Structure 1
Amino acid sequence: MSTISRPQAFGFGPLSLAALAALSLQMLPTETAMAQAQIANTSSASSSPAEDGFRWLEEVQGERALAWVRERNAKSTQLLQARPEYKGLRKELVEILNAKDRIPQLRRMGPWLYNLWQDEQHKRGLWRRTSLAEYQKTEPQWETVLDLDALGAAEKENWVFGGAQCLAPDYRRCLLSLSRGGADATVLREFDTQTKQFVQDGFSLPEAKSEVVWADENTVYVGTDFGPGSLTDSGYPRVIKRWQRGTPLSAAQTVFEGEAQDVAASVYVDRTPGFEHTLFSRALDFYNQTSFLLQSGKLVQLDLPSDVQTNFWGPRLLLQPRKDWQTGGQTYPAGALLLTDAAAFLKGERKFDILFSPSATRSLAGYTVTRQHLILNISDQVASRLEEWDFSKPKPTHRKIQAPFPGTLSVASLYDSELAKDELAERYLVNYADFLTPDTLYLAQAGSDDRQALKAREPKFNAGGMKAEQFFATSKDGTRVPYFVVSPPGVKLDGKNPTLLYGYGGFEASMRPWYSGGYGRAWYGRGGVFVLANIRGGGEFGPGWHQAAVKENKQRSYDDFIAVAEDLVKRKISSPKHLGIMGGSNGGLLVGATFVQRPDLFNAVVCQVPLLDMSRYHKLLAGASWMAEYGDPDKAEEWDFIRKYSPYQNVKKGVKYPKVLFTTSTRDDRVHPGHARKMAALMQSQGHDLLYYENIEGGHGGAADNEQRATLQAMEYAYLWQQLKR
């Protein structure tokens, strides 16, 4: 199935729930090579760039900047690793992250299920594969395709696996991406999964944020850093070229171009037998795109509003408008899922069947397809339900799927559209988890409620006596904001419970319940209360919930978060002395803005890989790609609303702030580490007490392997217990 949608690969793409559970982070969209352009002065800025005495900390590898980082790291590690909780926490977190019963995350390629596995022996991971029949066994046999640790040792590089684009239908030839230290920029090499060797004189690219797709066995479409003018302002490919095997990259022919102000140009090749096509797109911003279909050697623009996400599914076309759409004499609501005949649509027909229509409490969290079925994943008051459309007969039929409730369901198809005959064409995977129930992965059959449990995680903490509840807070403008509270046994409503409030609130990313052995051992199991806020800016209730808190309305995310915190105090679940907040990436901006606005409300802040200097975010790395979310600081009228919440411009001397822990990564080429560095330096210059830790590796996830993750998380929990314990 081909997809034209929001440029998740190029932006604040949030992590999967599995990654979230492992990292305790939720992250932002991708950035590119650091932009050194100077931001224009604006008279309305409360702290103009000319007054920024810490600009030198934006020099990622600058000697002076790294010396500053090492000095702060030494102080923070000395303090936090000396805490009585640290050693035990780290030991338990390593055990959880390396647990043998983790459910291997799968990607089907032909007869194989591929997985990247990291543990104490394989810190960077084994890229491995097995069959579905073998995977169903209690202890499947895996075949190693590539040992990342051995490769890194042989080449004296700190390689982190960055993914693989493999050519169907045999999936032998792959375009393998390797990242140094976990950065988004990768080195690309052609790899043979049969010989398990890199292809001599095969396709290869130096380190860059590249877009590469197979056209055929001897041809690829490539977008990369071709030199001056080839990248967008966000640092992603602006130009797509067609590159023939055996020829230098300089001989590749340009076939598609975007504009410098776009987020990126991209290409998708769909090889579904009988419905082959190639699609090019310009991501105009993070939520809008213009798409083109290659027909008879010419590019034909799809006649669609730029906010409509479009998926080809064999002879069908699926569309999701992000705003109300009037066409063909009818209005289709934002967040709906529409179906039409692809050939008829391309000829100008505008007749659509509505497969899903949102309500005030129900939104479409996602969908997946088999050969003849479409599975809807619906968020119902932030709990998952599944429904199914059957297209195996002339008249489609709809039914509800009986599945576990009320936690989080994740669905992934095993259907391979590029295989003419596929025995798994009607099979799909379903994973269920909630805060207190470990993940179970099922093999499901479309058209039936029958499911076979493939893998289940063992409980990582004793959930006896614990409870998970949903409450609602009332925000400043009267909006009801849901949030979840996970409580340890015997919690008393005395305002003294150590409480950690987590949020994200951006880019239409939904915060749904997940099972975390790390939180269970390090927080609930030690008597802490965990709270997950479903604030505006997220996608819990569809596009409208997100669009209510962007640009000039971004403050609503912070108002919602504050309202949840105040409701926790009102209910006597916690109190400011025992209440802490945590967020990463856009969530780092959330907690940064919130503690600056309401320092009286919190006693701990874990601010991870954050955005903080909103006067310069669009000049650093991929920041320009997020202006549809925040606005353009170079425009006086937009800077006027951004400056009111930008943490770096609003933190003040003489105000009593909670002792903040800032964390980031030198190798984060998505959100510039200068944000955290400069905020920490500014606050220290104002006399505020804080902690700062910057991992030299790790990329936007903050860590490159499980050892690093455990160290970082143990320091964070040690800090939280220091600040919030009774």
Structure 2
Amino acid sequence: MTVASATGTAAAAAEETAVAGIPGPEQDPFIFLEEARSPEALDWVAKENERTLAAFESDPRYAQLKAEALAIFNSDERVPGVGFAPYGMVNFWQDAKNPKGILRRTTLESWRTDKPEWETILDVDALAAAEGKEWVYGGMSCLPPEGTRCMVYLSDGGKDASLGREFDITTKSFVEGGFALPESQGSAQWLDEDTMLVSRNFTPETTTESFYPFTTRLWKRGTALEDAPEIFRGEKTDVSSGASLLRDGNAVIHGRLAYRGVSFHEREYFFEKDGAWLKLDLPKKAGPYGIIDGQILFSTDEDWTRGDQTFPADSLVSADLEAWKADPNGAAMTLVWAPGERQTKLGAATTKSSLFVNLLDNVRGRVLKFDYADGKWTSTQVALPDNATVGVVASSDETDEIMFTSTDFLSPGTWYYAKDGVTLEQVKQSPSYFDPAGMDVEQHEATSKDGTKIPYFVVKPKGMTLDGSTATLLTGYGGFQVPRLPGYLGSTGKLWVEKGGAYVLANLRGGGEFGPMWHQTAIRENKQRTWDDFIAVGEDLVKRGFTSPEHLGIQGGSQGGLLVGTFFTQRPDLLNAAIVQIPLFDMLRYHLIGRGASWIGEYGDPRIPEQRAWIEGYSPYQKIVEGVDYPAPFLWASTADDRTHPAHARKGAAKLKALGQPYYYFEDTTGGHSGGVDNDQRAKLQALQFVYLMQRLMGPAAGE
């Protein structure tokens, strides 16, 4: 069976009519919108944009909201986030003068001052102008330990797919005749100055159904990429596969690892031993986590039984690195850390001597420092503020230097530096962008349909009374084990809460707030639990008098856009506004649109009748039907989004229009899945959404 490309093809759509239960052109008149840049689709988009912009930009509040958002995004008072590099502190910066951004560096001493002195490494605006491209900077990967020979990644308009070019930090220029990777998904890793491991979409035959690579090649300087020998191959049915180097913080290479992504949440790992790939005895929801103090660490998202030991889900496990290299499936394993009730780990960072793990404890942050000495692991809690979202933002492989941040809904970020990893110095304070006076934060629980308690946070504006009259914005995510955490509201605080609106963040099953099981209990056949949780929070807000259906709106993007779509199609009576951002929406064809096939592990496969039945029960596109009044949703997307693809939002709007339902649709030609490539575009999107919310939930502007 032919699978549609990332931009969609009519031919593939026609073929799908042969697959039972998958709508084709005869059943779906809007499949033409799956062609991202066809003249017919772009003409449809232009007409929708004209109507939506006329409705929102003419509102007297629009200009002020955009100006306020842009002032925040372009503020010179923003703390420039940095990373440690052997040649200084590196920052990527966007403002009014540099909308596409500049990559720059300074010293630690200078960065700690109020006015750091910066040296530009790469000017993306100048590069884009010279080449006539809408370049979006996608980061760089550098050869350790010096870190001066790099691959710089650039995407055209913000797509996930990017090209790579070899760059020399010392000369601040691209290397003439150097390594160059064509536009693709995938990765590349330096082996030495003249050799790379490359996992890219080399040909259609080496690309999975999810449009990711499943082979890796060893590429030598001066040779053609297509001639590079293949060193690892997964399967076309994988989500993705590839090989990489097992390298420690001192840049010592200990061998090669490879993986097969057999689903979005499951991987099989391999270690190259004696010239062959040895499959590792790991659960499919477990994998390598790093090297520290001569120990190799693993993380597992499911219980892992090895001999007479069982390591609980979400734990950290280690083995002596040399013993493991000699016998990967027989080396002794040691428990490093296991979660307590309502605890989970979020990620890790390493310095020269220590491992730092970011934890959530009942949705509040902690950081633990781990060290291995004298045959045992010890942990120390870093003395960061309690009752806040905290984490590592930068760490050095060459030293024990590390930086942390702390924030909450009403407090801008505070930056801490520790030369030795634990002795904290407050070094930066982000500016305040709204007045928090009189606002407060509460945490409550709603009871979902099956009785599970679902926590949520409410940020209340000053003077709020519990009479149901407050315009309230409810948001969440609930997928892919991704947590939604309290963080400074920034533009939302200025454009919404300061103007009298309430903000609610729900911690839904399917997310990662309480560990792997919080996620795994709400996927595939149980995905409706996520939608039930979100609806339950909305019901609870009304029951407690925080708001009423007339004044309740919801917002979410990507998986969160699907979340919003299921809410407004299942409970349209509970809402008066719904912002559907860069969403998944047509779940019976999602595996054919964008990179949807990679998410079958989360939702199920609509080509399989039993699994299609799970999805048909909630797919928002199919649930938009005649005879129901929907809350005039606002759907928006990006033409350049090659991940969820604009077709989802387009088709939702088109179906609402066909049924005579009120709706709004907007699509930017650039932005990709992030929804904005420069600060002006981000400010515009913010203003459009908050004008919509104000019109629906607060009423007309004063004087109208």
Distance change (3 Å), C-alpha of 1:512 and 1:399: same
- What is the CA-CA distance between 1:205 and the residue it aligns to? 2.1
Pair 1:106-2:85 in alignment: no
Q: Larger RCO: Structure 1 or Structure 2 (Cα < 8 Å, ≥ 6 residues apart)?
A: 1
Residue identity in the other structure for 2:295: R
- What is the CA-CA distance between 1:134 and the residue it aligns to? 2.0
CA-to-partner distance for each residue in 1:278-300, whole Å, 9 max, x for gaps? 22221111111122223343322
- What is the CA-CA distance between 1:166 and the residue it aligns to? 1.1
Write out aligned runs for 1:181-200 (5 A). Answer: 181-200=157-176
The answer (yes or no) to whether the contact 2:336–2:377 under 8 Å persists in 1 is no
Tell me, in whole angstroms, the C-alpha distance in 1 between the residues paired with 2:346 and 2:686.
Answer: 29
Distance change (3 Å), C-alpha of 1:461 and 1:661: same
Task: Give 1:342's aligned residue.
Answer: 321
The answer (yes or no) to whether the contact 2:402–2:421 under 8 Å persists in 1 is no
Task: Give 1:28's aligned residue.
Answer: none
- What is the CA-CA distance between 1:112 and the residue it aligns to? 1.9
Pair 1:592-2:565 in alignment: yes
CA-to-partner distance for each residue in 1:107-152, whole Å, 9 max, x for gaps? 3222322211000000000011122222122211111011110111
> Match for 2:494 among 514, 521, 526?
521
- What is the CA-CA distance between 1:414 and the residue it aligns to? 1.9
Tell me, in whole angstroms, the C-alpha distance in 2 between the residues paired with 1:550 and 1:372.
Answer: 38
The answer (yes or no) to whether the contact 1:613–1:647 under 8 Å persists in 2 is yes
- What is the CA-CA distance between 1:276 and the residue it aligns to? 2.7
Task: Give 1:299's aligned residue.
Answer: 277
Tell me, in whole angstroms, the C-alpha distance in 2 between the residues paired with 1:632 and 1:668.
Answer: 22
Tell me, in whole angstroms, the C-alpha distance in 2 between the residues paired with 1:565 and 1:294.
Answer: 52
- What is the CA-CA distance between 1:386 and the residue it aligns to? 2.3
The answer (yes or no) to whether the contact 1:407–1:433 under 8 Å persists in 2 is yes
Count, aligned residues: 688
Residue identity in the other structure for 1:279: L
Task: Give 1:657's aligned residue.
Answer: 630
Residue identity in the other structure for 1:323: E
Tell me, in whole angstroms, the C-alpha distance in 1 between the residues paired with 2:607 and 2:316.
Answer: 36
- What is the CA-CA distance between 1:228 and the residue it aligns to? 2.8
Tell me, in whole angstroms, the C-alpha distance in 2 between the residues paired with 1:385 and 1:228.
Answer: 45
Pair 1:309-2:287 in alignment: yes
Task: Give 1:361's aligned residue.
Answer: 342
Give SS of 2:183's match. strand
Residue identity in the other structure for 1:154: A
Task: Give 1:37's aligned residue.
Answer: 12
Pair 1:437-2:411 in alignment: yes
Residue identity in the other structure for 2:503: F
Pair 1:251-2:227 in alignment: yes
Residue identity in the other structure for 2:416: Y
Pair 1:84-2:60 in alignment: yes
Write out aligned runs for 1:6-405 (5 A). Answer: 32=6, 34=8, 37-38=12-13, 40-41=16-17, 45=21, 50-272=26-248, 273=250, 276-314=254-292, 315-346=294-325, 347=327, 348-349=329-330, 351-405=332-386
Q: Which runs of 5+ in 1 are unaligned?
A: 1-30, 417-421
The answer (yes or no) to whether the contact 2:454–2:537 under 8 Å persists in 1 is yes
The answer (yes or no) to whether the contact 1:428–1:443 under 8 Å persists in 2 is yes
Instruction: After superposing the two structures, state which structure 1 stretch, 217-226 or 664-673, moved more.
Output: 217-226
CA-to-partner distance for each residue in 1:321-372, whole Å, 9 max, x for gaps? 2111222212221111222223333424354332322233212222323333
Residue identity in the other structure for 1:246: G
CA-to-partner distance for each residue in 1:457-488, whole Å, 9 max, x for gaps? 11111111110111100000000000000011
Residue identity in the other structure for 1:198: F
Distance change (3 Å), C-alpha of 1:447 and 1:86: closer
Distance change (3 Å), C-alpha of 1:197 and 1:370: closer
Tell me, in whole angstroms, the C-alpha distance in 2 between the residues paired with 1:46 and 1:185.
Answer: 27
Residue identity in the other structure for 1:312: G
Task: Give 1:498's aligned residue.
Answer: 471
Tell me, in whole angstroms, the C-alpha distance in 2 between the residues paired with 1:296 and 1:213.
Answer: 22
Write out aligned runs for 1:406-485 (5 A). Answer: 406-416=387-397, 422=398, 424=399, 426-446=400-420, 448=422, 450-485=423-458
Task: Give 2:517's aligned residue.
Answer: 544
Task: Give 1:16's aligned residue.
Answer: none
Give SS of 2:525's match. helix
CA-to-partner distance for each residue in 1:540-571, whole Å, 9 max, x for gaps? 00000000110000000000000000000000
Residue identity in the other structure for 2:390: L
Instruction: Report the TM-score when normalising by structure 1.
Output: 0.92
Instruction: Report the TM-score when normalising by structure 2.
Output: 0.95
CA-to-partner distance for each residue in 1:467-525, whole Å, 9 max, x for gaps? 01111000000000000000111110000100000011000000000102201110110
Give SS of 1:391's match. strand
Distance change (3 Å), C-alpha of 1:407 and 1:312: closer
Residue identity in the other structure for 1:134: S
Instruction: After superposing the two structures, state which structure 1 stretch, 173-182 or 556-565, moved more.
Output: 173-182
- What is the CA-CA distance between 1:32 and the residue it aligns to? 4.7
- What is the CA-CA distance between 1:451 and the residue it aligns to? 0.9
Distance change (3 Å), C-alpha of 1:32 and 1:44: closer
Tell me, in whole angstroms, the C-alpha distance in 2 between the residues paired with 1:636 and 1:463.
Answer: 52
Instruction: After superposing the two structures, state which structure 1 stretch, 251-260 or 531-540, moved more.
Output: 251-260
- What is the CA-CA distance between 1:43 and the residue it aligns to? 8.8
The answer (yes or no) to whether the contact 2:348–2:357 under 8 Å persists in 1 is yes
Pair 1:679-2:679 in alignment: no
- What is the CA-CA distance between 1:394 and the residue it aligns to? 4.6
Give SS of 1:280's match. strand
Tell me, in whole angstroms, the C-alpha distance in 2 between the residues paired with 1:312 and 1:705.
Answer: 34
Instruction: After superposing the two structures, state which structure 1 stretch, 458-467 or 286-295, moved more.
Output: 286-295
The answer (yes or no) to whether the contact 2:8–2:34 under 8 Å persists in 1 is no
The answer (yes or no) to whether the contact 2:85–2:396 under 8 Å persists in 1 is no
> Match for 1:699 among 662, 669, 672?
672
CA-to-partner distance for each residue in 1:53-93, whole Å, 9 max, x for gaps? 10001111110110000000001011101112100000000
The answer (yes or no) to whether the contact 1:372–1:392 under 8 Å persists in 2 is no
Residue identity over aligned pairs, in percent, reads 42
Distance change (3 Å), C-alpha of 1:244 and 1:345: closer
Pair 1:710-2:683 in alignment: yes
Q: Which runs of 5+ in 2 are unaligned?
A: 700-704
The answer (yes or no) to whether the contact 1:408–1:514 under 8 Å persists in 2 is yes
Distance change (3 Å), C-alpha of 1:88 and 1:645: same
Give SS of 2:435's match. coil
